[in-house]
Amino acid sequence: MSGAREPVIEVRGLVNQFGSQVVHDGLDLDVYRGEVLGVVGGSGTGKSVLLRTIVGLIRPKAGSIRVFGRDVLKASDAERREIEKRWGVLFQDGALFSSLTVLQNVEAPMREQLSLPHSMMKALGELKISMVGLPPLACGKFPSELSGGMRKRAGLARALALDPEIVFLDEPTAGLDPIGAAAFDELIGQLQKSLGLTVFMVTHDLDSLQAICDRVAVLAEKRVLVTGTMDEMLKVDHPWVHEYFHGPRARAVTA
For position 167, which CATH number holds? Answer: 3.40.50.300
**Is 175 part of a structural domain of the chain?**
yes
CA angle 144, 133, 33 (to 5 degrees): 110
Residue 211 has pLDDT above 70, yes or no: yes
Instruction: Report how far apart, in Å, the C-alpha atoms of 50 and of each of 15, 20, 137, 152 are.
Output: 10, 18, 36, 21
User: Whose CA is closest to 228, among 238, 213, 240, 243?
Assistant: 213
Q: Is residue 2 part of a domain?
A: no
Domain extent at residue 58: 7-254
Q: 146 and 137 in contact (C-beta within 8 Å)?
A: no
The answer, yes or no, to whether residue 94 has pLDDT greater than 90, is: no
34-64: pLDDT as tens digits: 999 999 998 889 999 999 999 999 999 999 9
229 lies in some domain: yes
In a domain, residue 48? The reply is yes
For residue 208, being part of any structural domain is answered with yes
200 pLDDT higher than 80: yes
The per-residue pLDDT for 255 is 45
Domain assignment present for residue 1? The answer is no
Mean pLDDT, the chain, whole residue set = 92
Per-residue pLDDT at 1 exceeds 60: no
Which residues on neighbouring strands pair with residue 215, listed in sequence order? Answer: 37
pLDDT at residue 127 above 60? Answer: yes
Number of domains in the chain: 1
pLDDT at 248: 66
In a domain, 185, yes or no: yes
- pLDDT value of residue 113: 87
Q: Is residue 13 part of a domain?
A: yes
